[in-house]
Amino acid sequence: MGRLSPEKGHIGLLDAFAQALKRGADGELVLVGDGPDRRRIERHTAALGLKDRVRLLGLLPEHQTLSEVAQSDLLVLASFMEGLPVVLMEAMALGVPVIAPRLAGVPELVQEGVHGLLFAPSNWSELSDALGKLLTDRALREQLGSRGRAKIEAEFEINRAVEPLVKRYRG
């Protein structure tokens, strides 16, 4: 989900996905968004022989984007430049397991093996391993998705989030 630009790591994601498929994983990669790297992503998809496994949906309204996330088996964030990505919180809130890079605020949100899987930024081999693991293990996907949703509900539910502020100003 998001801008198709070099810092988002889509080319590396395609390489990692191709490797996971070669090792026996099965799946389809859906990219939502648009940007300056779209043609490059399309060419790389063709060069890897993944045209039947990769769909580029372009820009979608928010409700359709969230619907795509909700229908997914997992969400992968391949960026090597992020803060605290909202798309991870949205996926987790929907009970969708996530794979994301260990950078910025991501490890604070996603604890390795508890709420999702993490990989070193730009380590496409490690990302491929994580993809293979989740694409072939439905029980793990369900477990991570459930725990991720519980974390978002516990830490980001609006009433709970503002409770400390209310107490501070009323007390």
Report pLDDT digits (tens) over 32-77.
999 999 999 999 999 999 999 999 999 999 999 999 999 999 999 9
Percent of the chain with pLDDT over 70: 91
C-alpha distances out from residue 75 to 119, 161, 171, Å: 14, 25, 42
d(Cα 91, Cα 88) in Å, to the nearest integer?
A: 5
Fold of 6-170: Rossmann fold (3.40.50)
Q: What is the pLDDT along the chain (171 residues), one digit of tens a residue?
A: 889 999 999 999 999 999 999 999 999 999 999 999 999 999 999 999 999 999 999 999 999 999 999 999 999 999 998 888 899 999 999 999 999 999 999 999 999 999 999 999 999 999 999 999 999 999 999 999 999 999 999 998 655 544 554 455 566
Record the pTM.
0.90
- Domain spans, the chain: 6-170
